Amino acid sequence: MPDRRRRAVRVLAFPCALAVVAAAGGAAVPATTGCTTHQCDSDCVVKGAPTDPTYCPQGDKAFVPFGHATRTGNEIVWQSASPYDLWLDFPGERTYWLDWGEEVLQQLHIDLHSVVVDEGPDVETDVSASADASTTAYVPGSGQLTEIGCLTNWRVCVLNATCAEYFLRVVVRMHLSEGDAATVPDAAGETGAPEANSPSDGSSDVSDAQSGGDGSG
């Protein structure tokens, strides 16, 4: 399995590149043969936080909860969409600046700016040829397809450093420190971590996950 956790901060202005990704079973993301028009003009779109006029001018204008967060014990899982929701449109040379802090605060009542994260964030990416990944194959993102940067406890930047357009899903996992997990209420409104053998996939409920789009919100 490819290493999907990369911390190199490379966000904007990447050169065009070929994108050919194959996965087990023959699934592939379409490739392009080069950049002949404006298909590789770079842009940056913010989801879940105010736009940055200098570095990331498109997207949300305020702290709007984006994606869906769940918690089981010490583990917090955030996802931009489930495999069955519409994924984010991800054209060549686009960077998504994804902020899950507000969603975690609203949904789980946890301020990620003030707690200690013992493990993570671990970032997983998937790419698909269709916004509706339930109708087509999808593969793990890696390399130029999903370059990871600006990673914090509440934000990640994901760049499509190719000229191919496809669709993106991001899943982030992190573990609170034992002390913070014991004092922050869990989903049932109780403090303290559940038993160690409790399920922890954190992905059962994605009803309010943001649908994919061009980031013009």
Q: What mean pLDDT, rounded, does the chain reach?
A: 75
pLDDT digits (tens, 9 = 90+) for 26-82: 444 444 434 455 556 789 999 999 999 988 999 999 999 999 999 999 999 999 998
Name 88's bridge partners. Answer: 168
Q: Is the pLDDT of residue 210 over 50?
A: no
Q: Which two tokens stand for residue 103?
A: 């969603």
For residue 7, the model assigns a pLDDT of 36
For residue 191, the model assigns a pLDDT of 41
CB 128 within 8 A of CB 7: no
Higher pLDDT pick, 217 / 165: 165
Distance CA 116, CA 67 (A): 22
Domain ranges of the chain: 21-183
Residue 161 contacts by C-beta under 8 Å, 6 or more apart in sequence? Answer: 10, 14, 15, 17, 93, 144, 145, 147
Q: Is the pLDDT of residue 204 over 80?
A: no
Residues of the chain with pLDDT > 70, as a percent, come to 66
Residues of the chain with pLDDT > 90, as a percent, come to 53
